[in-house]
């Protein structure tokens, strides 16, 4: 038994979509969430830059005393996961990859779309996953233009957000796809718009958040580091940006918890 916190890291607010699934599935686990904020967005940056940010972020979480790290960012995972695992060999590090495998295994039309950042879609990891699982399946690669900026500025419920999503998603209707993979952790915050736009078109939306939470649960058992069942979870939020950014992370997380009806504040 180990009541130390789990560390979750993202370039900004996006990893809160993973944090939410962890809170839901593992209510006794404390979590420290690091939203970089200072260097966000990562999507158009080089592998070297993203790897440097990821190393600094995991180091910060280790300094805070975490027992495990979840890289709640597809872009940082595709750029840096092997480097991170090489450095912190004794600590479980869970990465997030666009859910290409389940989408390819379940498509009926043989055509899927993956929405992700520019970096993720051109990464070696993405190419090797698609070549492994997408045999006979056509994978349309689509960057969610402006999606990250919209979520970072808290405008996901605006008309501007709906228009940005429509611009990216509407052209996919009629392309023969039956799955849209959300391959960036910011994108689930725009999911209601995506659902609205594809509604009635036989297109499922595939997200990896819940599957990652199940993987974390499995690893906690395997390494015997789960928190005690009477442990009261605490949630903390840190950032490389200013205090205002950190506070908005905290507020956004609180409104997510309110929706889940969990209160650990």
Residues that bind ligand DGL (CB under 6 A): 10-11, 14, 40-43, 73-75, 117, 120, 148, 184-186
Integer Cα distance of 1 and 261 in angstroms:
26
State yes or no: is 40 an active-site residue. no
| CB contact at 8 A, 91 and 120 | no
Catalytic residue chosen out of the listed positions 23, 40, 73, 104: 73
CB of 261 to ligand DGL, least distance (A): 26
| Region for residue 146 given its phi and psi (left: phi exceeds 0; alpha: psi -120 to 50; beta: otherwise) | left
CB of 74 to ligand DGL, least distance (A): 4
| CB contact at 8 A, 170 and 203 | no
CB of 15 to ligand DGL, least distance (A): 6
Integer Cα distance of 68 and 60 in angstroms:
12
CB of 48 to ligand DGL, least distance (A): 16
Residue 36 has a CB neighbour count (10 Å cut-off) of 25
Q: Which two tokens stand for residue 245?
A: 């950014």
CB of 141 to ligand DGL, least distance (A): 14
Nearest to 8 by CA among 242, 212, 204: 212
Catalytic residue chosen out of the listed positions 23, 40, 104, 184: 184
Beta carbon nearer to ligand DGL, 31 or 73: 73
Beta carbon nearer to ligand DGL, 14 or 92: 14
Beta carbon nearer to ligand DGL, 5 or 72: 72
State yes or no: is 23 an active-site residue. no
Beta carbon nearer to ligand DGL, 6 or 190: 190
Beta carbon nearer to ligand DGL, 23 or 80: 80
Catalytic residues: 73, 184
């Amino acid at each position: 038994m180990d009541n130390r916190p789990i560390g979750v890291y993202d370039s900004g607010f996006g990893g809160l979509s993973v944090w939410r699934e962890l809170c839901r599935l593992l209510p006794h686990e404390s979590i420290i969430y690091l939203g970089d904020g200072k260097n966000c967005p990562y999507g158009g940056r080089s592998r070297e830059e993203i790897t440097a940010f990821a190393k600094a972020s995991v180091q910060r979480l280790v300094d805070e005393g975490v027992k495990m790290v979840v890289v709640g960012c597809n872009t940082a995972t595709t750029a840096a996961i092997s480097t991170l695992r090489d450095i912190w060999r004794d600590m479980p590090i869970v990465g997030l990859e666009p859910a290409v495998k389940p989408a390819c295994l379940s498509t009926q039309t043989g055509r899927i779309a993956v929405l992700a950042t520019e970096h993720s879609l051109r990464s070696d990891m993405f190419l090797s996953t698609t070549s492994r699982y997408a045999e006979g399946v056509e994978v349309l690669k689509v960057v969610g233009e402006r999606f990250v900026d919209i979520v970072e500025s808290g405008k996901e419920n605006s008309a501007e957000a709906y228009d940005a999503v429509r611009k990216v998603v509407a052209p996919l209707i009629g392309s023969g796809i039956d799955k849209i993979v959300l391959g960036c952790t910011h994108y689930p915050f725009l999911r209601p718009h995506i659902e609205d736009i594809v509604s009635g078109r036989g297109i499922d939306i595939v997200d990896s958040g819940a599957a990652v939470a199940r993987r974390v649960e499995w690893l906690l058992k395997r390494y015997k580091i789960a928190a005690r069942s009477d442990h009261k979870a605490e949630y903390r939020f840190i950032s490389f940006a200013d205090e205002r950014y950190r506070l908005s992370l905290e507020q956004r997380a609180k409104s997510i918890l309110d929706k889940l009806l969990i209160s650990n504040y």
